[in-house]
Structure 1
Amino acid sequence: MLNCRACLWRCIQAISAHSYVINSQHLHRSAASSTCFAQQRLYLRTSARTVRKVTARPAFLAEVEKASQYRGDPWKQSTQAAGLKKRDRKGLTRQRDALKVAKAVAIPAQRRLGRRDPRIPLKDWHNRKNELQYLADPLELATFVKKELVKGKTTEMLQLVRMASNSMQCVVSWNHIIDHYLAKGQIAQAIKVYNDMKKRAQFPDAYTYTILLRGLSLNAHMTGALGRALSIYHSLFAPNSRMQPSIIHTNAMLKVCARVEDMDALWGVAAKIPETGPASANAVTFVTILNAIRQSLLVRIPVGQSEEDIAKRIEKGIVEGRRIWEDVIGKWRNADLVMEEELVCAMGRLLLIGSRPRDWDDVLSMVEQTMDIPRLVPRLGTTARKDAGYPRLRSPNVSEQFRFDDDHLSPSQGPARGDEFLPITTHGIGNAVSSALAYATPSNNTLSLVQEACQKVVANKAAGEYWSLLTDPTTYGIVPDVNNFHQRLRVFRQNRASADALELLRDGFIGNNLQPRPATFRIAMSTCVRDKNNHNSLKHAGQILDIMTTSLEDADPKTVNMYADLAISFPLAKGQDYIDALARLDLIVRNIRLQLGVGCKRRDGGAGATLLQGVERQDAINALRRIHGLFDKLLFTGFIPEERKRPYKEGKARLGAFLHRINFKDGERQKERQKRNVSGSGEGEDGQGRLEDAEQRKESGILSGLFKGRGGWRQRTAPPVGNRKPWSSTDTGGESLG
Structure 2
Amino acid sequence: MSIQLPGSVLSRTLRSRLIQQRLANTGAYRLGRSLPSSASRSYSTEATEDTLADHEQETSLKLPPKVETNASPEPWKGHKEHFASNRNSNGGMSWSQSASKAERASLMAIASNSKLDGEDPTSRKTLELELKWLADPRALADRVARILQSGDVAKAAALVRQAQREGLSCGVAWNNLLQYFMDRQCSKAAFKLYNDMKKRGRAPNSRTYTIMLTGFRKAAEGTPNVVQDALRVYRSIFAENSPVKPDIIHTNAMLSVCQRHGDMDTLWRIAGELPEEGPQSPDMVTYSTILTAIQFAAQNDILKMDRSEIEKIVARKSQMVTEGKRIWADVVYRWAKDKVNPLPIDNNVVGSMASLLLQGANDRDFYDIFALYNQATGTPIFGKLPENNVKIAHRRVWRELERRPKTAPGSSVEDDVPFVDQDNNLLKRAKKEAPVEEEEEEKFDSLFDPMVPGSENLSYLQPNNKDLTMILEACFKLTQGASTGSVYWDHLTKPENPTRIEPDNLSYMEYFRLLRLTRSSHTATRVMREQMVPAGRAKGKAFHVALSCCRRDRKNRKVLLHANELLDLMNESCLLPDPRSLGNYLELVQRLCDNPHSLMYLLGLDMDTGRDTRTLQTLGKKLQTKLRLCALATLRPHIAKLHEAMENGQSGAARKGRWDTDLGELAMGEDCARIMAWVRLITDETLKTEFALFVTKEERKILQSESNMLKKYSDQATIQKLTGKPVKPTVEQRNEFKLRQLELRGPPKSEKRVSETLQEQVAEQPEEQATNYATEEVARPTEEQVAEQAQEKPQEKPQEKPQEQAAEEPQGTEKPTHEVAELRKEQPAIQSEEVAGHAQEQAEPASPLGETKS
Q: Aligned AA for 1:236?
A: S
Aligned mate of 1:130, from 125, 132, 136:
132
CA-to-aligned-CA distance 1:328-357 (integer Å, 9 cap, x gap): 222223244321011111211222232211
Structure 1 Cα separation of the partners of residues 690 and 395 of structure 2: 39
Larger radius of gyration: 1
Give how far 1:373 is off: 2.9
Do the aligned partners of 1:592 and 1:620 also contact (CA within 8 Å) in 2?
no
Name the structure 2 match of 1:215: 215
CA-to-aligned-CA distance 1:65-91 (integer Å, 9 cap, x gap): xxxxxxxxxxxxxxxxxxxxxxxxxxx
Aligned mate of 2:139, from 144, 147, 169:
144
Q: Aligned AA for 2:335?
A: W
Aligned mate of 1:302, from 301, 304, 324:
304
Structure 1 Cα separation of the partners of residues 254 and 690 of structure 2: 67
Q: Aligned AA for 1:182?
A: M
Structure 2 Cα separation of the partners of residues 326 and 627 of structure 1: 63
Give how far 1:533 is off: 1.9
Q: Aligned AA for 2:545?
A: I
Give how far 1:452 is off: 3.1
TM-aligned CA distance change 1:447 to 1:647, over 3 Å: same
Gaps of 5+ in 2: 1-113, 116-120, 401-439, 593-597, 603-622, 739-854
Q: Are residues 1:449 and 2:470 paired? A: yes
Name the structure 2 match of 1:484: 507
Give how far 1:550 is off: 3.1
5 Å-filtered alignment, 1:631-646, equals: 632=685, 638=691, 640-641=693-694, 646=700
TM-aligned CA distance change 1:597 to 1:368, over 3 Å: same
TM-aligned CA distance change 1:634 to 1:577, over 3 Å: farther
Structure 2 Cα separation of the partners of residues 708 and 144 of structure 1: 48
Aligned mate of 2:359, from 334, 353, 356:
353
Higher helix share: 1
Name the structure 1 match of 2:554: 532
Structure 2 Cα separation of the partners of residues 174 and 237 of structure 1: 18
TM-aligned CA distance change 1:552 to 1:640, over 3 Å: farther
TM-aligned CA distance change 1:147 to 1:302, over 3 Å: same
TM-aligned CA distance change 1:271 to 1:419, over 3 Å: same
TM-aligned CA distance change 1:251 to 1:603, over 3 Å: closer
Structure 1 Cα separation of the partners of residues 693 and 737 of structure 2: 28
> For 1:289, what is the secondary structure of its paired residue?
helix
Q: Are residues 1:423 and 2:450 paired? A: yes
Name the structure 2 match of 1:322: 325
5 Å-filtered alignment, 1:40-439, equals: 121-131=123-133, 135=135, 140-141=136-137, 143-152=138-147, 158-159=157-158, 161-166=160-165, 167=167, 170-183=170-183, 185=185, 187-220=187-220, 223-224=223-224, 226-227=226-227, 229-233=229-233, 235-236=235-236, 242=242, 245-260=246-261, 266-267=267-268, 269-270=270-271, 272-274=273-275, 277-295=278-296, 301-302=303-304, 304-306=306-308, 308=310, 310-333=313-336, 334=338, 335-381=341-387, 397-398=395-396, 418-424=445-451, 436-439=457-460
TM-aligned CA distance change 1:170 to 1:661, over 3 Å: closer
Do the aligned partners of 1:528 and 1:541 also contact (CA within 8 Å) in 2?
yes
Do the aligned partners of 1:561 and 1:623 also contact (CA within 8 Å) in 2?
no
Structure 1 Cα separation of the partners of residues 457 and 537 of structure 2: 42
Gaps of 5+ in 1: 1-116, 383-392, 403-412, 427-432, 670-691, 701-706, 718-738
> For 2:447, what is the secondary structure of its paired residue?
helix
Do the aligned partners of 2:554 and 2:588 also contact (CA within 8 Å) in 1?
yes
Do the aligned partners of 2:491 and 2:497 also contact (CA within 8 Å) in 1?
no
Aligned mate of 1:583, from 619, 633, 646:
633
Q: Aligned AA for 1:127?
A: L
Give me the TM-score of the superposition, normalised by structure 1: 0.60
CA-to-aligned-CA distance 1:343-392 (integer Å, 9 cap, x gap): 1112112222322111111111001112233323443359xxxxxxxxxx
> For 1:421, what is the secondary structure of its paired residue?
coil
Give how far 1:482 is off: 2.1
Structure 1 Cα separation of the partners of residues 702 and 314 of structure 2: 52
CA-to-aligned-CA distance 1:607-645 (integer Å, 9 cap, x gap): 8999866xx946963784477357547858859537668
Q: Aligned AA for 2:396?
A: V
- Identity of aligned pairs, percent? 25
Q: Which has the higher contact order (CA 8 A, sep 6+)?
A: 2
Structure 1 Cα separation of the partners of residues 284 and 583 of structure 2: 45
The aligned length equals 531
CA-to-aligned-CA distance 1:215-234 (integer Å, 9 cap, x gap): 33344469458356435345
> For 1:585, what is the secondary structure of its paired residue?
helix
Q: Are residues 1:520 and 2:542 paired? A: yes
Do the aligned partners of 1:492 and 1:500 also contact (CA within 8 Å) in 2?
yes
Q: Aligned AA for 1:344?
A: V
TM-aligned CA distance change 1:643 to 1:478, over 3 Å: closer
TM-aligned CA distance change 1:561 to 1:639, over 3 Å: farther
Name the structure 1 match of 2:583: 561
5 Å-filtered alignment, 1:583-602, equals: 583-589=633-639, 601-602=651-652
For structure 1, which segment, 321-330 or 230-239, has the greater mean C-alpha deviation from structure 2 after superposition? Answer: 230-239
Q: Aligned AA for 2:630?
A: D
Q: Are residues 1:628 and 2:681 paired? A: yes
Give how far 1:213 is off: 0.9
Structure 1 Cα separation of the partners of residues 141 and 496 of structure 2: 46
Give me the TM-score of the superposition, normalised by structure 2: 0.53
Name the structure 2 match of 1:468: 491
CA-to-aligned-CA distance 1:229-270 (integer Å, 9 cap, x gap): 435345437866635653222222232343445556555554
Do the aligned partners of 1:558 and 1:623 also contact (CA within 8 Å) in 2?
no
Structure 1 Cα separation of the partners of residues 732 and 160 of structure 2: 60
Structure 1 Cα separation of the partners of residues 224 and 645 of structure 2: 43
Structure 2 Cα separation of the partners of residues 399 and 222 of structure 1: 28
Structure 1 Cα separation of the partners of residues 628 and 490 of structure 2: 37
Q: Aligned AA for 1:445?
A: K
Q: Are residues 1:661 and 2:715 paired? A: yes
Give how far 1:293 is off: 3.9
CA-to-aligned-CA distance 1:585-617 (integer Å, 9 cap, x gap): 23434555678899862465488999866xx94
Do the aligned partners of 1:236 and 1:245 also contact (CA within 8 Å) in 2?
no
Give how far 1:173 is off: 4.3
Structure 2 Cα separation of the partners of residues 400 and 124 of structure 1: 68
CA-to-aligned-CA distance 1:458-493 (integer Å, 9 cap, x gap): 253664355435654661243222222333333433
For structure 1, which segment, 276-285 or 601-610, has the greater mean C-alpha deviation from structure 2 after superposition? Answer: 601-610
Structure 2 Cα separation of the partners of residues 420 and 629 of structure 1: 59
Structure 2 Cα separation of the partners of residues 696 and 434 of structure 1: 61
> For 1:151, what is the secondary structure of its paired residue?
helix
Structure 1 Cα separation of the partners of residues 320 and 671 of structure 2: 39
> For 1:437, what is the secondary structure of its paired residue?
coil
Structure 1 Cα separation of the partners of residues 198 and 139 of structure 2: 22
